[in-house]
């Protein structure tokens, strides 16, 4: 195995870890107001991820560092071409982290309510934009002979990219609902359970459409395997949730997320950033 291929696989593994772990963090933040009917309920939701949310973000930092170290041209093109969405993600993560820390600093309903809004927005924005970004990485973007991105923000807001955003948001929402069903009791658990019952089929249809679209457009023979495993895992998760087997449902959602990432990276290889301008301008594991 070539060293560049090893790094490509390692980066894929890091993104799997990030989306699996940070995915349920995002899901809890996205559900903060739908499930938290009172300040006490919202405190319960936040406490479920309190010990882990900041540690889970380390996977993102490591993935970015590995990309910079192994594929500097990919890193440069990605961060210049996707500057605005990545900047929005960064701001959202910063405000979300500050909100977790500052929410309880002042005993004021208004103070906590404002920070709760920051947590919700800081969870929804990355959940959607990560899907938009990865969909466009796989689909390809306009890149010239110098490796420079020549599009704009609206280039990224294509139907496939928007479906990618819907897919990650629905998967993370389901992942978070399953996590809350597993970690809470009483009315909060019941509300999380009802959300998971609705979000499961939505994630299955949206994610299935996205992965099949990608598979038919640019997938390889073997990448059908993770696509089918992801779909099967979501079906198992839906059944498990309806039978109150929250642990199985949460694990199944995690498997679906991991398989989706494997499918996308598998269909991308050996490219790391395809060019829609000219295939000869694409960045690959050997020239990035």
List pLDDT tens digits, range 145-188.
888 888 888 899 999 999 999 999 999 999 999 999 999 999 99
Please measure the distance between the N-terminal and C-terminal CA atoms of the chain and give it in whole angstroms.
17
- How do residues 85-98 score in pLDDT, each as one tens digit? 999 999 999 999 99
Residue 229: which residues within 8 A CB-CB, separation 6 or more? 255, 259
Residue 104: predicted pLDDT? 85
- How do residues 226-268 score in pLDDT, each as one tens digit? 999 999 999 999 999 999 999 999 999 999 999 999 999 999 9
1 pLDDT above the threshold of 80: no
* Average pLDDT value for the chain: 94
Question: Percent of the chain having pLDDT more than 90?
Answer: 84
Rounded Cα distance between 28 and 135, Å, is 23
DSSP 150: -
């Amino acid at each position: 195995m070539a060293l560049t291929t090893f790094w490509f696989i390692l980066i894929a593994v890091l993104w799997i870890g990030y989306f699996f772990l940070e995915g349920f963090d995002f899901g809890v933040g996205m559900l903060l107001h739908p499930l938290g009917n009172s300040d006490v309920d919202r405190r319960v939701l936040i406490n479920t991820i309190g010990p882990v949310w900041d540690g889970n973000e380390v996977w993102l930092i490591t993935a970015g560092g590995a990309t910079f170290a192994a594929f500097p041209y990919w890193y440069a093109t990605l961060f210049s071409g996707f500057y605005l969405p990545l900047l929005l993600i960064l701001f959202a993560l910063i405000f979300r982290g500050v909100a977790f820390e500052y929410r309880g600093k002042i005993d004021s309903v208004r103070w906590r309510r404002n920070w709760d809004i920051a947590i919700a927005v800081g969870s929804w924005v990355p959940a959607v934009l990560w899907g938009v970004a990865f969909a466009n990485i796989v689909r390809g973007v306009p890149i010239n002979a110098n490796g420079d991105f020549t599009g704009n923000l609206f280039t990224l807001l294509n139907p496939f990219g928007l479906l990618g955003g819907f897919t990650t948001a629905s998967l993370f929402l389901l992942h978070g609902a399953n996590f809350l069903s597993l970690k809470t009791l009483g009315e909060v658990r019941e509300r999380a359970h009802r959300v998971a019952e609705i979000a499961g089929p939505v994630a299955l249809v949206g994610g299935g459409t996205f992965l099949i679209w990608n598979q038919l457009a640019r997938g390889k023979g073997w990448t059908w395997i993770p696509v089918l495993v992801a779909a099967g895992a979501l079906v198992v998760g839906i059944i498990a949730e309806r039978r109150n087997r929250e642990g199985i449902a949460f694990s199944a959602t995690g498997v679906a997320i991991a398989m989706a990432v494997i499918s996308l990276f598998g269909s991308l290889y050996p490219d790391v950033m395809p060019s829609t301008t000219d295939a000869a301008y694409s960045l690959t594991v050997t020239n990035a």
